[in-house]
Structure 1
């Protein structure tokens, strides 16, 4: 696995603060690994994050370069019950496999939207596709999904899986977390997921 020294500590702070394990591709993947983003609740509790593998997508890339990207991003979401917010003013919904599917679907959209699209149309396109991704995530037993079994820490684990012209998305669960993943240029078939032993080894 390629690593990077001299990396700013701030790049991994969110990952180190989490109270749940992070997942990435297992040791069969030997390419570049990089930290993507974390998300936290209003009180600063880390709730989810994403770890990338392969090329790092960028909307600044030329269309021809974007077409050739090969990447897979694994989303880890803490398994949380429904609970009151830290300030006591509201209720936070329980997390679920659908939540992980939504995070993965929106993540795919955010890095693969058509770079040749007129700027004035991009937001309308993104709003429409985001709504579609939410509807799909809310209906994991519907016709938009198939089943794919992948090893997670060596144990066969079922995932909900779908493909689109922009790439693929999958979602399932492991011990204490819900898992999502999305990618392009790298087939989801044959991938394996595993707990990340030392997140500080990943590039920021």
Structure 2
């Protein structure tokens, strides 16, 4: 399984231009929740290889989670969809190594670590969070590498209207799932994570207009996006603290 660090994938932020530009440069389709979801939609960030090739990214739905210590996770309602390009075993962009093929496990790890990066245990001291995050991220890696294990269950959800098998698990911090869309070379792996929104009623579909996510709406009519300039948002965390997306 390929990881962000092993693949040399780096987060691409909005500093170099509009946040959506990284998404528009991808050579694969992006996935989000289908039109049954009518709430706010937003962008997180993409991960790109050393040569600038976009490898994965995420789209958000619902309430953007806050990482403030005093926030109440139980009150947050969001679902994030991670899209991972289908890649074979290949040489790294700098020619110094070989990268593993991407797989459902890749999507599972990115989703699991993404959920953790948007979680702050309410009873934990700020100075201890990085140690906790490192420990839990390693656990997420081990779980993603064992999708057939007892830590996961089967769940079937529609992808572009087609029933598709996923691996699913819940924890005290939320839920994570992972699967694949299509067997063609241009197919992608899909991961998702969330809190406060049930995964059982979700459906996924190709995003028709990714630029609409930058404006806070998706393909279906959406509520006005809530604005709270006082909160530090999860997608504003430096890349080294929120590496999953």
> Which TM-score applies when normalising by structure 1?
0.92
Unmatched tracts of structure 1, length 5 or more? 1-7
Identify the match of residue 102 of structure 2 among 77, 95, 98: 95
Cα deviations across residues 111-164 of structure 1 (Å, max 9, x unaligned)?
A: 012144112221221111111111100000000000000000000000000000
Q: Which residue of 2 aligns with 1:109?
A: 116
The correspondence of residues 40-59 of structure 1 with structure 2, limited to 5 A, is 40-59=48-67
Q: Which moved more, 1:123-132 or 1:161-170?
A: 123-132
Deviation (angstroms), 1:61: 6.2
Give 3-state SS (helix, strand or coil) of 2:165's partner.
Answer: strand
Q: Which runs of 4+ in 1 moved over 2 A?
A: 60-64
CA-based RMSD: 1.4
Contact 1:36 1:51 in 2 (8 A): yes
d(CA) in 1 for partners of 2:169 and 2:114?
Answer: 14
Cα deviations across residues 74-130 of structure 1 (Å, max 9, x unaligned)?
A: 000000001112222211211010000000000000001214411222122111111
Cα deviations across residues 7-28 of structure 1 (Å, max 9, x unaligned)?
A: x961100100000000000000
Q: Which residue of 1 aligns with 2:204?
A: 193
Give 3-state SS (helix, strand or coil) of 1:38's partner.
Answer: strand
The correspondence of residues 71-150 of structure 1 with structure 2, limited to 5 A, is 71-150=78-157
Q: Which residue of 2 aligns with 1:180?
A: 191
Number of residue pairs the alignment of both structures matches: 196
Contact 1:74 1:180 in 2 (8 A): yes
Unmatched tracts of structure 2, length 5 or more? 1-15, 216-245
Is 1:167 aligned to 2:174, yes or no?
Answer: yes
Determine which structure has the larger strand proportion and give its number. Answer: 1
